[in-house]
Amino acid sequence: MTDELKKFVFDAAPVRGELVRLEATWQEILRRRRYPAPVSTLLGEMMAAAALLSANLKFNGALVMQLHGDGPVRMLVVECNSDMSMRATAKIAEDAEIADDATLASMVNVHGRGRFAITLDPHDKLPGQQPYQGIVPLSDETGPLSNMTEVLEQYMQASEQLDTRLWLAADNKVASGMLLQRLPSYGGTMEGRPDREPARVGETGQPLHKDVQKQDLDTWERVCQLGNTLRREELLEASIDTLIKRLYWEEMEAAGIRMFEPLAPHFRCSCSRLRVGAMLRTLGQPEIESILEERGKVEIDCEFCGQHYSFDAVDCAQLFAQETVAQAVQGASGQRH
């Protein structure tokens, strides 16, 4: 099984594309968690989308994609880091019954209060820097959005103000997707965001002529029309190279597509005993002692990978002893200054 993501650009216009195929990564997630088929499909589509969006970001950090709402599926979360390591999980209400033909609306947006969010969380934050987060509702003026593609396209239009088209598919073996994005032909600023490319201008530095703008739009519409011929079965079964050749063979023959070195998405969970211990300290010593009195130990399972962590009374005492020592050292350091 080969997991890869390939990026390409069209020379005829400022249009970029990506294709991703997740096999081992996706199956590793399904091996650790069992979900009803509609939940699995939705989570797999989010996995493919997160990889596609993350590949365009030029920063050291994590893209976290979340669906949360008021249906039987409380939340779906996918995380993709700048090294293309990925993890994902879904939270389902206890005793929830999810039909085989359940839709996005019936799973997450039953009463119209569902939300979709993307958080960009840098690993090397500057002092006081907060993660960037964009949120959109799972409904628009026409009613509830029907699938993950619609949600993401609405998000990209509202957040990035870039024309973006997505095709996503997932089953119990593969999560796959394609992204096309039309970049600005001219004008506008691109400050303050992780992935911004220079505005397209002529040799004199002036905005491009309207004829060029029309050519750019024609190219965009053509590549999207060809993308619309892509069937779900093709996304799930064909390799990335095969899909590009089937869709854009004319552009390839004319040397009108530039391909980049593939990226390698892979599964990795960032949980650790150290991180779990830090989380337990935030609960406070009285709360931890109450759990110990009731159960004899504190047990935590990672929601992403299922790793089990157990802390007995001695372990918990050490957690808070370490915190006390750290506070004492910090206080002594402050007194010296």
Boundary-marking domain end, from 235, 250, 267: 267
Q: Supply the angle between the helices 37-54 and 148-159 in degrees, to the nearest 10.
A: 30
> Which residues on neighbouring strands pair with residue 166, listed in sequence order?
179
pLDDT at 119: 93
Residue-wise over 120-154: b if at least 16 C-beta within 10 A, else e? bbbeeeeeeeeebeeebbbbeeeebbeebbebbeb
289 and 178 in one domain?
A: no
Query: Are 79 and 196 members of one domain?
Result: yes
Counting Cβ atoms within 10 Å, is residue 118 exposed (0-12), middle (13-18) or buried (19+)? Answer: buried
> Is the residue at 337 inside a domain?
no
Are 225 and 307 contained in the same domain? no
Is 23 within the bounds of a domain?
A: yes
Question: Does residue 34 lie in a domain region?
Answer: yes
Q: Which pLDDT score, from 0 to 100, does residue 212 have?
A: 67
Domain-located, residue 292: yes
Q: Are residues 222 and 140 in the same domain?
A: yes
203 and 311 share one domain: no
What parts of the chain have a pLDDT lower than 70? Answer: 1, 185-212, 255, 322-337
In tens, the pLDDT along 50-67 reads: 999 999 888 888 999 999
Please give the angle made by the CA atoms of 32, 34 and 40, to the nearest 5 degrees: 105
Helix axes 210-227, 240-253, angle to 10 degrees: 140
Name the burial class of residue 212, with classes exposed (0-12), middle (13-18) and buried (19+) by CB atoms within 10 angstroms of its CB: middle
Same domain, 228 and 280: no
Asked whether 93 and 76 are in contact (CB, 8 A), the reply is no
Q: How many domains does the chain have?
A: 2
219: domain range? 4-267
Q: What are phi and psi of 146, to 5 degrees?
A: -95, -20
Do both 223 and 300 map to the same domain? Answer: no
Q: Are residues 112 and 184 in the same domain?
A: yes
Tokens 């081992």, located at residue: 24
Residue 221 included in any domain? yes
5, exposed or middle or buried, with CB in 10 Å at 0-12, 13-18, 19+? buried
d(CA 20, CA 239): 9
Question: Is 26 part of a structural domain of the chain?
Answer: yes
Asked which of 267, 284, 305 is the last residue of a domain, the reply is 267
Neighbour-count burial for 247-259, b at 16+ CB within 10 Å, e otherwise: bbeebeeeeebee
pLDDT tens digits, one per residue of 107-133: 999 888 899 999 998 887 777 777 888
Per-residue pLDDT at 272: 85
Do the domain assignments include residue 92?
A: yes
**CATH code: domain of residue 277:** 3.90.1280.10
The CATH number assigned to the domain holding 86 equals 3.55.30.10
Given 245, 267, 289, which residue is the final one in a domain?
267
**Residue ranges in the chain assigned as alpha helix (H):** 24-32, 37-54, 104-108, 148-159, 210-227, 232-237, 240-253, 273-283, 285-295, 313-336
Do residue 153 and residue 182 come from a single domain? yes
Amino acid at 170: A
Residues in contact with 252: Cβ distance below 8 Å, sequence separation at least 6, in sequence order: 244, 245
Task: Please indicate, yes or no, whether residues 227 and 280 belong to a single structural domain of this protein.
Answer: no
Do 306 and 206 lie in a common domain? Answer: no
Is 232 found in the same domain as 313? no
Residue 136 domain-assigned?
yes
